[in-house]
Amino acid sequence: MIPPLLPGISSNTYLMLQIGPHKLANRVALAPMAGVTDLPFRRLCAELGAGLVVSEMISSDPGLRNSRKTAWRSRHDGEIEPRSVQIAGSEPQQLAEAARYNVLRGAQVIDINMGCPAKKVCRKAAGSALLADEALVAQILESVVSAVEVPVTLKIRTGSSPQARNGVSVARIAEDAGIAALAVHGRTRACAFRGEAEYDTIADIVAATNIPVFANGDIDSPGKAAQVLRHTGAAGVMIGRAAQGQPWLCGQVANYLDTGVISPAPTWEEQRRLIREHVQALHVFYGDFMGVRIARKHVSWYLQQSPAYLHHRRTFNQFDGPSEQLDYIDRIYDKTDNEELAA
């Protein structure tokens, strides 16, 4: 049943969203983001209401499998199901082998990256650079889908450039290859993250295919998510950069789409607890040396709305020990700073 506060959204949006055999708890996914969606952050977002979380992209290059970075990105202990792993590359057989390898390590969904606009990825003809070669797209998708028995999903952009928006064509290729679900960012490769996302192409993709589509790009609030679903008719939304510093956002959006009620953000005391637990999890996951350094960017995102943001960031970034970081979080969230942050 469509909640009365959300008119205009397709009734298909309120059906149980499913990827292969996996029924998702809701229609809100956390986007895969390199350097952000590591296991501690995925666990936190899932705990706070994300219906699907996807790993950071893992290179299909077998020579990198024993690297420290790949080892971190390949961990799934304690993660909600389905465990979705994103792979990146440009060689069909290499990607197929990477899919098999990650399934053996616990992946229940394989996601293929054809959406990353980063230059270091596109220089290797991977990520969104692949969109310019539809024949290669088809080869990759067919190779990966046939290599594994788990569902395969795909993340794309609307095209290579505003003059070459071939997202509909790529989506049809994906459906023909057996892709189980599609996430579409409403910008082209050339746009990177500049300007505003456009959703007309996503609506065209939804109309042209019969697989679940997640709309992605600039979705930063429950209201914006509902607006995008109305416009596109997509089955769900995928939230990326807006979740940085707001791991509860996916849950807020999911609750609004299900009930029409915007749930409040965590209280200051709840935020203190969440941030402390997140930072502690980073220390444990990466070890003290790297954990302290990776915690710096996450705490910076948490505090970016504070009037004293620059002061807190400079101070926090000076600490080299886990206990110093945790003590400073407590100091930020004492009564005085609560009033300052709320100002």
Q: What percent of the chain has pLDDT over 90?
A: 73
Q: pLDDT digit string (tens) for 221-238?
A: 999 999 999 999 999 999
Give the pLDDT score at 201.
96
Give the pLDDT score at 306.
87
DSSP, residue by residue, 138-200 = HHHHHHHHHH-SS-EEEEEES-SBTTB--HHHHHHHHHHHT--EEEEESS-TTTTT-S----H
What SS3 state is found at 87? strand
Mean of pLDDT values over 9-29: 80
Q: Where does the pLDDT of residue 5 fall: very low under 50, low under 70, confident under 90, or very high at 90 and above?
A: very low
Q: Where does the pLDDT of residue 124 fall: very low under 50, low under 70, confident under 90, or very high at 90 and above?
A: low
Give the pLDDT score at 336.
47
Q: pLDDT digit string (tens) for 251-278?
A: 999 999 999 999 999 998 999 999 999 9
Answer with the residue of higher pLDDT: 123 or 71.
71
- 2, pLDDT greater than 90: no
Q: pLDDT digit string (tens) for 23-43?
A: 999 999 999 999 999 999 999
19 neighbors 47 (Cβ within 8 angstroms): no
Q: Where does the pLDDT of residue 136 fall: very low under 50, low under 70, confident under 90, or very high at 90 and above?
A: very high
Catalytic pick among 45, 116, 122, 250: 116
- 9, pLDDT greater than 70: no
Give the pLDDT score at 64.
86
Q: Is 116 a catalytic residue?
A: yes
29 neighbors 50 (Cβ within 8 angstroms): yes
DSSP, residue by residue, 314-329 = HHHTT--SHHHHHHHH
Query: Which long-range CB contacts under 8 A does 9-16 form with residues at least 24 apart?
Result: 9/226, 9/229, 9/230, 9/257, 10/229, 10/233, 12/233, 12/235, 13/229, 13/233, 13/234, 13/235, 13/236, 13/257, 15/235
Domains of the chain by residue range: 11-259, 268-342
CATH number among 3.40.50.620, 3.40.50.12780, 3.20.20.70, 3.30.420.40, domain 11-259: 3.20.20.70
Give the pLDDT score at 8.
54
